[in-house]
Amino acid sequence: MSIEVKQINKFFGDFHALKNIDLQVKTGSLVSLLGPSGCGKTTLLRIIAGLETADSGQIFLHEQDVTHQKVQDRHIGFMFQNYALFRHMSVFENIAFGLNVLPRKLRPSKDEIREKVHHLLKLIQLPHVAHALPHQLSGGQRQRVALARSLAVEPKILLLDEPFGALDAKVRKELRQWLRDIHQELHITSLLVTHDQEEALEISDQIVVMNHGNIEQIGDASTLQHSPKTAFVTEFIGEVNAFEGEIIADNTWCYKQYRYKLDKAHLLSDTPVGTAVTAYIRPYQWTISQDKQEAMLQGVIKHIHDVGAFLRLTILEPSTYRFIEVQADVSSTFKVDDLVYLTPKFIQFFPKK
Ligand code: ATP
């Protein structure tokens, strides 16, 4: 175990920003903290780094209790969204900075530093910019140099706070893949803060979904998509259609005329009769047909978008005037304005919020 967070609580005045946070990050893995603005991601990262103190709880790095250790004793590399490079130093000098300021006993020789910086420049695929100044680089290149600077001192743990936040979507996407590759090469235990679910799903081994200072669920992309434990995770990860209904007799959920029998796969089996329960159905969890039998809904196709692997249909349910997103096979022959019937293949249920 490389990072272990035990029962961390943090208050800002009366505001309870982190609530009994427990988290374990395995050596060599890349884990994302994902959640909406203000849920406590940065605060947790800063507490792990030692830039902020918790009101209670403990932090272990490589099984050592570092709760009361100073930031400089924790051997952590950082990279923040606005982690500006030194403007008047060349790329080479920026990357070498952390090494040049080490105490004399620990400082590598000039030749060793040169070798190391050139190795890092190759790793970030920018061997040709060693003598450039930061303003001569693109935003994406600057972030890569900032990462090389964090890596120069060979941290065992890397903390990244929205590292690509300020960049445009295309560059972000490239850098994500690049970060994943670097991570695979170096195996540095990394914790990354993001509010971008696509980013988290694409690069992380595990994703920690946070909300209001709590951890809602920890899992890989597939677990969060297919087996969410809370309504929040269901709505936050991936697209979903929600329907409010209630439990009627005998473990049966009811939405208008439609009945759906809950079984053990549903977290809410054995919910009392009369409980208001919301059903969540993802676009790929529908059967769409022109046969009315046993359908949950009827609707009219308003839009068809061919995304290559499947068709994306937007269907209007006339009785409620709501739009439902449905994924259909590419070979299907549906047309705009067709009347269709939708039956769920699977539903996630959670108590009404
Ligand atoms: P964002 O994605 O917007 O950065 P976040 O999930 O990283 O959000 P934090 O920055 O950790 O959230 O903040 C969590 C909560 O704690 C927010 O409501 C924030 O306003 C509050 N907070 C953070 N730092 C302080 C502080 N120094 N003083 C008072 N409140 C703070």
Residue 163 scores a pLDDT above 90: no
Nearest-CA residue for ligand 1 atom 30 is 12
d(CA 120, CA 185) in angstroms, rounded, equals 12
Same-domain check for residues 227 and 247: no
Cβ(45) – ligand 1 distance below 6 Å = no
Q: Is 204 helix (H, G, I), strand (E, B) or coil?
A: coil
Residue 116 scores a pLDDT above 80: yes
Atom nearest to 18 CA in ligand 1 = 14
- Domain stops at, among 206, 235, 264: 235
Same-domain check for residues 202 and 339: no
Same-domain check for residues 195 and 173: yes
| 114 contact partners, CB below 8 Å, separation of at least 6 | none
The number of domains in the chain is 2
Q: 353 alpha carbon to ligand 1 midpoint, in Å?
A: 24
- Of the candidates 135, 51, 149, 145, the one whose C-alpha atom is nearest the C-alpha of residue 100 is 149
d(CA 30, CA 3) in angstroms, rounded, equals 11
Nearest-CA residue for ligand 1 atom 18 is 38
Q: Is 322 helix (H, G, I), strand (E, B) or coil?
A: strand
- Summarize the confidence of residues 292-311 as an average pLDDT: 92
What digits encode the pLDDT tens for the residues 220-247? Answer: 999 998 889 999 999 999 899 999 999 9
Q: Is-contact 343 296, C-beta < 8 A?
A: yes
- Of the candidates 92, 77, 166, the one whose C-alpha atom is nearest the C-alpha of residue 126 is 92
- Summarize the confidence of residues 56-72 as an average pLDDT: 93
Residue 81 scores a pLDDT above 80: no
| 209 contact partners, CB below 8 Å, separation of at least 6 | 34, 35, 215, 216, 217, 218, 224, 232, 233, 236, 237
Same-domain check for residues 271 and 309: yes
Give the pLDDT of residue 133.
Answer: 94
Cβ(195) – ligand 1 distance below 6 Å = yes
- Summarize the confidence of residues 171-190 as an average pLDDT: 85
Cβ(86) – ligand 1 distance below 6 Å = no
Q: Is 38 helix (H, G, I), strand (E, B) or coil?
A: coil
Would you tell me how many other CB atoms lie within 10 Å of the CB of residue 28? Answer: 14
- Domain stops at, among 235, 252, 270: 235
Nearest-CA residue for ligand 1 atom 19 is 38
Residue 348 scores a pLDDT above 60: yes
Same-domain check for residues 97 and 207: yes
Kindly give the pairing relationship between strand 30-34 and strand 206-211.
Answer: parallel
Q: Using alpha carbons, list the distances in angstroms from residue 258 to 60, 201, 288, 342.
A: 52, 34, 16, 11
Cβ(176) – ligand 1 distance below 6 Å = no
Compute, in degrees rounded to 10, the torsion defined by CA atoms 124, 95, 44, 197: -20
Beta partners for 15?
12
Same-domain check for residues 59 and 154: yes
What digits encode the pLDDT tens for the residues 257-278? Answer: 899 988 776 766 667 888 899 9
**CATH no. for residue 314?**
2.40.50.140
d(CA 17, CA 4) in angstroms, rounded, equals 19
Give the pLDDT of residue 83.
Answer: 66
Same-domain check for residues 224 and 243: no
Give the pLDDT of residue 268.
Answer: 67
Nearest-CA residue for ligand 1 atom 28 is 12
Cβ(123) – ligand 1 distance below 6 Å = no
Range of the domain at 223: 3-235
Same-domain check for residues 193 and 265: no
Same-domain check for residues 59 and 125: yes
Burial pattern 254-279, b for ≥16 Cβ within 10 A else e, equals ebeebebebeeebebeebeeeeebbb
Same-domain check for residues 111 and 22: yes
Q: Furthest-apart CA pair in the chain: how many Å?
A: 79
Q: Is-contact 118 58, C-beta < 8 A?
A: no
Mutate to test the pocket of ligand 1, among 10, 12, 164 (most ligand atoms within 8 A of CB): 12
The token duo for 114 is 């040169």
Residue 113 scores a pLDDT above 60: yes
Q: Is-contact 315 265, C-beta < 8 A?
A: no
pTM score, whole prediction: 0.87
Same-domain check for residues 202 and 101: yes
Q: Using alpha carbons, list the distances in angstroms from residue 336 to 285, 310, 312, 313, 328.
A: 21, 16, 12, 9, 13
Q: What strands, in cross-sheet order, belong to the sheet with 241-248? A: 258-261, 252-255, 241-248, 276-281, 348-351
Give the pLDDT of residue 1.
Answer: 56
Nearest-CA residue for ligand 1 atom 10 is 42
Calculate what percentage of the chain has a pLDDT beyond 70. Answer: 98
Atom nearest to 33 CA in ligand 1 = 6
Residues recorded for the chain:
353
- Summarize the confidence of residues 179-194 as an average pLDDT: 89
Nearest-CA residue for ligand 1 atom 24 is 43
Same-domain check for residues 206 and 273: no
Atom nearest to 45 CA in ligand 1 = 11
Mutate to test the pocket of ligand 1, among 8, 16, 33, 39 (most ligand atoms within 8 A of CB): 39
**CATH no. for residue 79?**
3.40.50.300
Rg of the chain (C-alpha set): 25
- Of the candidates 94, 21, 98, 97, the one whose C-alpha atom is nearest the C-alpha of residue 52 is 21
Nearest-CA residue for ligand 1 atom 5 is 38
Q: Is-contact 213 17, C-beta < 8 A?
A: yes
- Domain stops at, among 207, 235, 263: 235
Q: 40 alpha carbon to ligand 1 midpoint, in Å?
A: 6
Q: 38 alpha carbon to ligand 1 midpoint, in Å?
A: 5
- Summarize the confidence of residues 291-295 as an average pLDDT: 84
d(CA 277, CA 24) in angstroms, rounded, equals 33
